[in-house]
Structure 1
Amino acid sequence: MKQQIARIQVQNNFCERCKSSIQTKLTKIRDVSNVRLYPKESLVVFNFFRANELSDVLNALTEMGYPEEGERINRDTLLRSKWCMC
């Protein structure tokens, strides 16, 4: 199976401190590797093998308050999220 690269532009900005917690959570997802975050660009880049891992990362980002650019999130998810307030 071939490894693929994902580049996810997220809606909310994050700082260097929040970058660390996002990276920690995403690296715990099985078969997700080389997680790189770029706070100035609100960009998350990582390697994955199957679409399932891509979906897991997108769900994790949304739960943390960093949904993909253009994604609509419901009010309950927004209230549970703890995005960067630094």
Structure 2
Amino acid sequence: MKAQRARIPVQNKFCIRCKNAILLKLAEIPDISSIQLYEKESLVVFNFFKANELSEVLNLLTEIGYPEVGERWHKAAKMESKLCLC
């Protein structure tokens, strides 16, 4: 099975310190690789094999305060990132 590349623009900005915390969280998900985060573009890029892995990443990003651009989330949940160290 060939790996697919995901490019996920996220709604909240993150700094270099937050980037490291996000990377650690994403690294806990099995079978995703080549994780790269671009803070200037608020972009998360990684390789995955199955759709459920992509879904896991999207759910985790929302949970930690970085939902995908265009995703609607509960107004009470709209806040700065839970991982933000700034």
**Which amino acid is the alignment partner of residue 24 of structure 2?**
T
Deviations 1:60-82, CA, capped at 9 Å, x for gaps: 00001000001001145446x51
Unaligned runs of 5+ in 1: none
Q: Give the structure with the larger helix fraction.
A: 1
**Cross-structure match for 2:17:** 17
Deviations 1:10-64, CA, capped at 9 Å, x for gaps: 0000000000010011111010111000000000000000000000000000001
Segments of 4+ moved more than 3 angstroms:
75-79
**Cross-structure match for 2:69:** 69
Q: How many corresponding residue pairs?
A: 85
Matches within 5 A, 1:32-51: 32-51=32-51
Distance across 2 between alignment mates of 1:53 and 1:71: 18
Taking only aligned residues, the RMSD between alpha carbons, in angstroms, comes to: 1.6
What percentage of residue pairs aligned between the two structures are identical?
Answer: 64
Distance across 1 between alignment mates of 2:65 and 2:83: 5
Q: TM-score, normalised by structure 1?
A: 0.90
**Cross-structure match for 1:55:** 55
